Amino acid sequence: MTETHPYLDPSLPIAARVADLLGRMTLEEKASQMLNVAPAIERLGIPAYDWWNECLHGVGRAGMATVFPQAIGLAATFDEELLHRVGTAIADEARAKHHDALRRGLHARYFGLTFWSPNINIVRDPRWGRGHETYGEDPYLTGRLGVAFITGLQGDDPRYLKLSACAKHYAVHSGPEGARHTFDARPPARDLTDTYLPAFKTTVQEGKVESVMGAYNRVNGEACCASPTLLRHYLRDAWGFQGHVVSDCGAVEDIYERHQIFRRKEQAVAEAVKAGCDLCCGGAYDALVQSVEQGYLAEADIDRALARLFTTRFKLGMFDPPAMVPYAQIPLSVVSCPEHRALALRAARESIVLLKNDGILPLKPEGKFIGVIGPNANAPDVMMGNYNGNPRDAVTPLQGIIDRAFPGANVLYSAGCELNGPEGAIFWEAHEIAAVADVLVVVLGLSPMLEGEEGAGVADRPSLDLPAAQQSLLELLAKSGKPIVVVLLNGSALAVSWAREHAAAIVEAWYPGEAGGTAIAEVLFGDYNPGGRLPVTFYQSIAQVPDYESYDMTGRTYRYFTDEPLYPFGHGLSYTTFAYGTLALSAPSIAAGETVTVSVEVRNTGEMAGDEVVQLYLSAEQPAVPAPIRSLKGFRRIHLVPGEAQTVAFTLPAEAFMYADPAGEPILDPGTFRLTLAGGQPGYVPAAQMAEGTIEVK
């Protein structure tokens, strides 16, 4: 190797450098670089590289890292600026770990710069085990938060990517987990357009995401990782995607082993490459050379895919002197630094949703004994979610309450029961605590061992209820007559109807990350006023949810659900009150190519400072074809002190008023549309906390 090779010249355009490098490689060398475990090519100075890395809510699986709330908790913040800051902090830690590994000669998995996050699939069904990895059920919210997170990860340097982010799993992927390697999702055309694809389109076109991961399943008969419709028609031709596509791990093998679309491995991998799957997580692309030799694939097809992969590596600065790459100078001391830990606490605070409060919260200092009971009260692993790193320190709800309890108060603790086990001795121990406590904080819910990914020992949930032992524990404690505050740690909707009827308050805390216990205690004792909102619908029971295997959105999520939910999407209470003024429109009508500004004054009319999440919903009053009941089209989280007012404005393009017809074609339907600005969904907030108006679409 010589330093005069053009691909090593940082002054040349990346496209020229990539072309020069590919021209020096043999077919076998090219094929070897299309596997996620790419070997070194020493004669060309190409180091070994493993493309697989994770940063769903912090750098995952690579030792110590700041652990932020699980993705569903981040979604509950309804805070784009926060998501961007979290992405930036994660990228700092990832860069520091990567360059430290290189200095030590390590090229191991989970120390690269290509991260397979975020998960932007839509939670169409609360049973799906991986719902907690996502930003919830709404395509608009998912797209906005996805863009914020991705741009934080990828940075804003004009020359280099900080990290390569990845929008996954493309597409129409949300269970059933147990059938994901064989399942053929067949959504109606309108749902493909209006629900399953928008977040991917947004993260590609606005977020400029560098990578997209193909899903395991089929969509309308085509395997996602070999789908001309998904990978060519939509992703590259319609949306202009310029990055690379990676398969989910083992998904290319599924094409011929489980979907059995093609009988021969050599043909299956060829079709995947030609459709646009550039990188194989797994080993299937070890047949690429044979695919070329047998005539299924041209070397030019491999060159096209490999050019995309090396373009990403060049954009990350992997072939440039470290002194030229600003991100290479980030020190290892940034990992779990005080600033990042403070950000994790802020994120945990903002993620908490107050579902119910009869006035018991914030807790008062009168009582001498606080009973903290429940299997999730002192379970650090539950707080971490999945795809997580290891925190420097983690504060459980129990520890947070002990640290914050009023002077002179005694905190009594019992797990009460196992997370998902039978009643036992600790069941009665909890009963004895309830007899002497003045108030009971009962920390219940799920864990990543009860909801998760196929192959991880657990997958989808058969029920939306609390595990039976936890429900029995809650009912036993209620017999004490003591006021009960239920705190939920979980990643998906729970049908806590009994708790709604019998508990004094319900606090949704998700899997809150390393600082979760501190944030929960701050909310319970009134040091922080909760302002999170539900990014998913909480149903009354599983009877309200359609057939799990149907990808038809009829009856699913707040956009199409016609029954009464337990708690609606967008719901969240506060310790203060907010009043909305009159909705103002910049114009009475809108037509194609035009925009309209919608605004309202929001005032804190209570006695405590707090956050309000202003949500903009749009609804067609007499749609020409079936349309969503309502759709979120804007949101903004604002902070107001008592008496303070702020005008919140959203500018909508005409495209915001479009929805798909039954053929999947977006239409701008003339007629009247209702616009609502509110602290939650229309019909589920007090009249003072919303403002409505109409606009004509021409």
Instruction: Report, as residue numbers or ranges, the catalytic residues.
Output: 248, 451
Closest CA to 673 of 602, 596, 601: 596
| Nearest in space to 423 (alpha carbons), one of 481, 482, 467 | 467
Nearest alpha-carbon partner for 679 in 631, 635, 625 = 635
Q: Which backbone phi and psi does 76 adopt, to 5 degrees?
A: -65, -15
Residues 370, 438: contact at Cβ < 8 Å? yes
The DSSP secondary-structure symbol of 508 reads E
Q: Tokens in use for 588? A: 């009475």
Tell me if 34 sits within 8 A of 309, measured CB to CB.
Answer: yes
Bridge-based pairing of strands 671-678 and 690-697 is antiparallel
689 alpha carbon, distance to own chain's centre: 28
Separation between Cα atoms, residue 458 and residue 255, nearest integer Å: 24
Coil vs helix vs strand at 592: coil
Phi, psi at residue 631, to the nearest 5°? -140, 140
What tokens appear for 54 in the block?
Answer: 């994770």
CA nearest neighbour of 209 among 159, 143, 272: 143
Cis previous bond, 588, omega within 30: no
Helices (H) and strands (E) in the chain, counts: 19, 25
Q: How many CB atoms lie within 10 A of CB 104?
A: 8
What are the structure tokens assigned to 400, written together? 């947070």
309 vs 49: CA distance, rounded Å: 12
